[in-house]
Amino acid sequence: MSFSIIQKSQLEGASRIDAEYYQPDYLELKKRITKLDYINFGDAMDILTDYHANGSYEILKENVRISEESDFALMIRTVDLENDNFDKNVRYVSESAYNFLKKTQVFGGEIIVNKIGNAGFVYLMPKLGRKVSLGMNQFMIRLKSNFNSNYFYVFLTCKYGKKIIEQLVSGAVPQSIDKDSVRSIKIPIFSKDLQNEVDGLINRCNDFKKETFDLYKQAERILLEELGLKDYEKIESLSAIINLSEVEDSKRIDAEYFQAKYKIILEKIQKNNARKLGDLVSIKKGIEVGAEEYQEEGKIFIRVSSMTKFGIVESDQKYLNDKLYEKLKKDFEPKKGEILLTKDATPGIAYVLKHDIQGIISGGTLRLKLKDNEVEGEYLALCLNSFLGQMQAERDSGGSVIAHWKPEQIKNVLIPILPKETQEKISDLIKQSFEARKKSKELLEEAKRKVEYMIEKK
């Protein structure tokens, strides 16, 4: 049994009397932090705001329309920050909406905290060089000029900062955190030298992160140039003329499937020695184990929500016990060099596994294994992640929100086979991109270790 003995005086003014709040490790951490020089997070804040600071639900509904079509300003969401993706599958608001949402305009360098769902998750807003507005269910924090956002971000995401925030999160499903709790977070303040050192590490981390995206975009640009699609713009035509044979071959008669924009893409692919994905790879489906098998530690269970084109995200991760892992690993554990491809929820996300991993893939994910060396793995994953693959997934969905991409449809996805030299050039850029990302993560972890060491040393 784990228990704590709390004096009545310690409850005075407290809004929490539940046992979870007073777990021994929380109390021990609070004791450790309060022995250091510290401030409450709220004392360092210049602004703490959220989307609904701009008005009531009714007023916001009248003045703000969120769109999937490119518009004046990006509306930043948790999923964008989690995936480091600010270009694809994002949301926008108009210029008038952006101006109306003046209390939550985002410029870069702010600390973003999730309010609900993955409550208490913390992000550092990058400087995107474009107009950005804060999305829903998030707090945006801008610090006073004499405080360093990079240092605060590192503390809040190191193991001690996470533990402090974990204590303040309340509720069952969904969990949440409020403004007063965020303001109450105790931040240890170390020497200016340490803060500057941490700041420098995060600046270098951000430089490598930018290099990651620049290299990836360069690889994608080469692919599209080779296919004559560099300046491609979607054609939104209201009609199309098709042959009866096309209907018979596709076994589809809905108008969405035969839109001109899909036809143009497929024609470009077919001119470049197109092959069906099923001819290039073998495909194995994952398994659903049921939420009752989820654990907070153990062997990783790779769900669709864990997947990005840059790898498997670590936050909100689920795990399986060793016994279940041993039972499933023969058939459902991916190997280095295999391509993981999502087929449900957000279909079409592809990632080449860089090393062997002790884990099991979920039923919404496929394992693709190259049959021969006709295509480079990184090149194939790029084709699937680019709009070449994404539009084929969109077409197969019948024009609706893609919930499921059937393996039979995935096998028929067309892949352009460019000359081997071009494939290798693209693959090399992708590998450089992932190497830059690895360095970025290493610098962030180094910064966290420095702060954790100072807390432990003191």
pLDDT in tens, 128-167: 999 999 999 999 999 999 999 999 999 999 999 999 999 9
Percent of the chain as helix, strand, coil, to the nearest 5: 45, 15, 35
The pLDDT value given to residue 171: 75
The pLDDT value given to residue 231: 76
Does the domain formed by 234-417 have CATH 3.90.220.20? yes
DSSP bridge pairs for 285: 366
pLDDT less than 50: residues of the chain: 12, 399
Give alpha helix (H) positions in 258-337.
Answer: 260-270, 277-280, 322-332
DSSP bridge pairs for 67: 92
Query: Is the Cβ–Cβ distance between 305 and 79 less than 8 Å?
Result: no
Helix (H, G, I), strand (E, B) or coil at 203: helix
What ranges make up the beta strands (E) of 84-164? 91-93, 105-106, 111-114, 122-124, 132-134, 138-143
User: Can you give the three-state secondary structure of 13-45, one letter per residue?
Assistant: CCCCCCHHHHCHHHHHHHHHHHCCCEEEHHHHE
For the segment 49-84, what is each residue's pLDDT rounded down to a tens digit?
999 999 999 999 999 999 999 999 999 999 899 888
Query: Is the Cβ–Cβ distance between 177 and 189 less than 8 Å?
Result: no
Query: Is the Cβ–Cβ distance between 334 and 358 less than 8 Å?
Result: no
Listed residue (367, 370, 345) closest to 357, CA to CA: 367
The pLDDT value given to residue 281: 98
CATH number listed for the domain at residues 8-188? 3.90.220.20
| Residue 438, C-beta contacts closer than 8 angstroms, at least 6 positions apart | none
8-188 matches 234-417 in fold: yes
The pLDDT value given to residue 84: 86
**Rounded distance, CA 5 to CA 3, Å?**
7
Residue ranges covered by each domain of the chain: 8-188, 190-227+423-458, 234-417
The pLDDT value given to residue 88: 80
**pTM summary value:** 0.88
Length of the chain measured in residues: 458
Mean of pLDDT over the chain: 90
Q: What is the DSSP letter of 176?
A: B
Crossing angle of the two packed helices 377-385 and 387-396, in degrees rounded to 10: 50
Q: Cis omega before residue 188 (within 30°)?
A: no
**Rounded distance, CA 378 to CA 385, Å?**
10
**Rounded distance, CA 41 to CA 77, Å?**
23
**Rounded distance, CA 454 to CA 450, Å?**
6
Residue 6 burial (10 A CB sphere; 0-12, 13-18, 19+)? middle
What's phi and psi for 141, nearest 5 deg? Answer: -120, 125
**Rounded distance, CA 227 to CA 269, Å?**
7
